[in-house]
């Protein structure tokens, strides 16, 4: 039964009275006026918007908070952030004991209101008795994750919506220090911490009743950034001459990673680096891209164009908070050279996240062979290739649930990745995905290969010859009606496909029942006789259903580059057909 207009307006008026931001209060007041006007100018959409903004409270979970910025309890705003900070402070106090003075590091990106949310958090936590350390400027998420471990903090907060649209913002929470002392120290929260924090948030009163300090927190200097950059030194694998010979195009997609990446590459000896100038400076409106996510079509077109014009060897792209790393290369097997010469007609393409994971994973496995007790890890939706690479080398591999909050907790971890462009190449420093450190390792590999007259595509061919050709892709559907997400999953559970790409499905697993030792999670796994695999799951951070597709093709150990290239093209054609099948099967 729908809530009455009187009840809704009463809740809205109460929220307005207790809001801590005059602008947000005024925004709601105007929305109420438009929704209730009695002079014939009433806007039904305003009433629907009010109902949506007050349809519960923005949910706090393992991903923290994330949502569109606007006034009301079901949006990202200063009142919601104030109550979240109070709940986090209460959880830390309850966990560590009264008077424990938890140390908390706070970071933020350059999105709209990120600085406001970070300073609100600092004021609330300082008033709650925490030692609060604020990063000195908008900085990448990996710098915050590094600082949590470097400074032995009990918690970390990063205000960012990562690669979400410009209208969104978010709030990630890390735990370490005295709160989490095992392999997850400095990683993002997992159960039961998320539920414990959410419980404390629910117990917080109105936002204007939360105590706030006028000061008392410390703003860190640039030493924390310098320490992070110093931590990258052991990741350099190319000699000075090789590094100087590589031509690299970079883009930060209007985010905060540009300067840090430029410095990291320069320190590693890469002197021929060309940033995409239109996307170099932080801009919260992300004017040159529809979605500031390297995975989205067109997001790195400017970088590819610059690479083509400049004769680059590799393109490296970070998402706006620089925790993801995308890599693009010129793949001669894809060049058409038809019509006007463009980057794509010349064969430039972005490597799939799994392909970068194979390259970095092969590097890590080679280094881990002589180090017993070390482990590599990847998420259940990532390619099975890393597991095969590790097994062939006698190195332990672990499959985890999706998300770095799980990957980074792997005991003995030396490398972890997930296909969504996330790579952890230095877990001793950053227990999270890190697009800056991954870029340094990728550039080093590309430089060494170039010195031998080879490319990253050649290295992928080597992986295929040694372990088989694993080719992956993703199909995703974005939903405006969130009820369609569980409905889509229900359709799949009730009638899973009998074949995948013409091969009989012999295994259907509901991941909600657990799988291969993993805890239950919402998703379905289908495996066909020819080793084709499909995993379908709702996204944890976006209103999407995602399908992860993988086909496997044997490759002869002496196959030529042309043979491997043809096999890769044929595998991609199988994936295109598989996408069409799944689109129909899921009713997308």
Residue 515 domain boundaries: 469-586
Contact 308, 300 (CB under 8 A): no
Q: Which residue has the tokens 């990448």?
A: 140
| Same structural domain, 79 and 121 | yes
| Same structural domain, 74 and 209 | yes
The confidence score (pLDDT) of residue 419 equals 95
| Same structural domain, 100 and 190 | yes
The bridge status of strand 218-219 relative to strand 131-134 is: parallel
| Same structural domain, 300 and 424 | no
| Same structural domain, 198 and 317 | no
Which residues, in sequence order, are CB contacts of 38 under 8 Å at separation 6+? none
Q: Which of 380, 458, 377, 477 is nearest to 425 (CA)?
A: 377
| Same structural domain, 517 and 391 | no
User: Given 192, 220, 248, which residue is the final one in a domain?
Assistant: 220
For the four alpha carbons of 211, 104, 154 and 171, in that order, the dihedral sign comes to positive
Active-site option among 114, 162, 346, 379: 162
| Same structural domain, 75 and 203 | yes
The confidence score (pLDDT) of residue 245 equals 98
Please confirm, yes or no, whether 162 is among the known catalytic residues.
Answer: yes
User: Given 464, 481, 506, which residue is the final one in a domain?
Assistant: 464
The confidence score (pLDDT) of residue 464 equals 97
pLDDT in tens, 293-327: 999 989 999 999 999 999 999 999 999 999 999 99
The confidence score (pLDDT) of residue 563 equals 93
R_g of the chain computed on alpha carbons: 24
The confidence score (pLDDT) of residue 340 equals 67
Q: What is the DSSP string of 522-553?
A: S-EEEEETTS-EEEEEE-SSSSEEEEEEEEEE
| Same structural domain, 73 and 212 | yes
| Same structural domain, 112 and 153 | yes
The confidence score (pLDDT) of residue 371 equals 85
Contact 200, 71 (CB under 8 A): no
Instruction: Name the domain count of the chain.
Output: 5
For the four alpha carbons of 431, 381, 164 and 71, in that order, the dihedral sign comes to negative
The confidence score (pLDDT) of residue 297 equals 87
Q: E strands, 488-532, where?
A: 499-500, 503-510, 524-528
Contact 520, 513 (CB under 8 A): yes
| Same structural domain, 274 and 190 | no
| Same structural domain, 94 and 202 | yes
pLDDT-flagged residues of the chain (< 50): none
Tell me, what CATH number does 456's domain have?
3.40.120.10
The bridge status of strand 272-275 relative to strand 155-159 is: unpaired
| Same structural domain, 519 and 431 | no
Size (the chain), residues: 588
């Amino acid at each position: 039964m729908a809530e009455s207009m009187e009840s809704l307006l009463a809740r809205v008026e109460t929220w307005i009275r207790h809001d801590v931001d005059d602008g947000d209060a005024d925004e709601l007041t105007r929305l109420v006026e438009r929704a209730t006007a009695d002079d014939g100018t009433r806007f039904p959409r305003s009433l629907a918007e009010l109902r949506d903004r007050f349809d519960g409270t923005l949910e706090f979970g393992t991903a923290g908070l994330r949502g569109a910025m606007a006034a009301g309890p079901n949006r990202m705003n200063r009142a919601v952030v104030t109550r979240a900070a109070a709940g986090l402070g209460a959880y830390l106090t309850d966990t560590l004991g009264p008077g424990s003075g938890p140390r908390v590091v706070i970071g933020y990106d350059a999105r709209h209101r990120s600085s406001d949310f970070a300073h609100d958090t600092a004021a609330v936590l300082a008033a709650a008795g925490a030692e609060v350390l604020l990063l000195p400027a908008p900085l990448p998420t990996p710098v915050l994750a590094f600082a949590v471990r470097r400074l032995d903090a009990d918690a970390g907060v990063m205000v960012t919506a990562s690669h979400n649209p410009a209208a969104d913002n978010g709030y990630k929470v890390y735990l370490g220090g005295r709160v989490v002392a095992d392999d997850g120290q400095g990683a993002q929260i997992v159960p039961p911490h998320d539920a414990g924090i959410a419980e404390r948030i629910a117990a917080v009163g109105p936002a204007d009743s939360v105590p706030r300090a006028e000061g008392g927190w410390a703003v860190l200097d640039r030493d924390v950034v310098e320490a992070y950059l110093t931590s990258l030194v052991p990741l350099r694998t190319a000699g000075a001459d090789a590094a100087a010979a590589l031509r690299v195009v970079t883009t930060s997609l209007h985010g905060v990673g540009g300067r840090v990446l430029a410095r990291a590459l320069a320190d590693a000896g890469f002197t021929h680096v060309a940033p995409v100038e239109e996307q170099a400076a932080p801009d919260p409106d992300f004017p040159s891209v529809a979605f500031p996510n390297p995975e989205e079509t067109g997001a790195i077109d400017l970088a590819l164009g610059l690479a083509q014009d400049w004769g680059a060897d590799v393109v490296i792209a970070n998402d706006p908070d620089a925790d993801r790393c995308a890599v693009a290369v010129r793949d001669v097997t894809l060049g058409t050279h038809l019509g006007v010469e463009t980057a794509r007609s010349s064969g430039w393409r972005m490597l799939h996240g799994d392909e970068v994971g194979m390259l970095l994973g092969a590097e890590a496995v080679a280094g881990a062979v002589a180090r017993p007790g070390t482990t590599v890890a990847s998420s259940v939706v990532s390619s099975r290739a890393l597991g095969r690479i590790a097994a062939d080398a006698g190195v332990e591999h672990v499959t985890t649930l999706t998300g770095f909050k799980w990957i980074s907790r792997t005991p003995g971890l030396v490398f972890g990745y997930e296909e969504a462009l996330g790579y952890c190449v230095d877990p001793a420093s950053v227990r999270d995905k890190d697009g800056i450190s991954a870029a340094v390792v990728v550039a080093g590999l590309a430089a060494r290969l170039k010195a031998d007259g080879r490319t990253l595509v050649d290295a992928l061919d080597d992986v295929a010859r040694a372990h088989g050709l694993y080719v992956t892709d993703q199909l995703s559907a974005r939903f405006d009606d969130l009820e369609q997400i569980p409905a889509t999953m229900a359709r799949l559970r009730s009638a899973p496909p009998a074949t995948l790409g013409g091969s009989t499905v012999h295994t259907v697993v509901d991941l909600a029942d657990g799988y291969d030792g993993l805890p239950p999670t919402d998703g379905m796994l289908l495996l066909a006789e020819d080793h084709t695999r499909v995993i379908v799951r709702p996204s944890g951070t976006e209103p999407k259903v995602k399908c992860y597709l993988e086909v496997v093709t044997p490759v002869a150990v002496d196959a030529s580059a042309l043979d491997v290239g043809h096999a890769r093209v044929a595998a991609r054609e199988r994936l295109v057909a598989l996408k069409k099948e799944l689109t129909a099967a899921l009713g997308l």
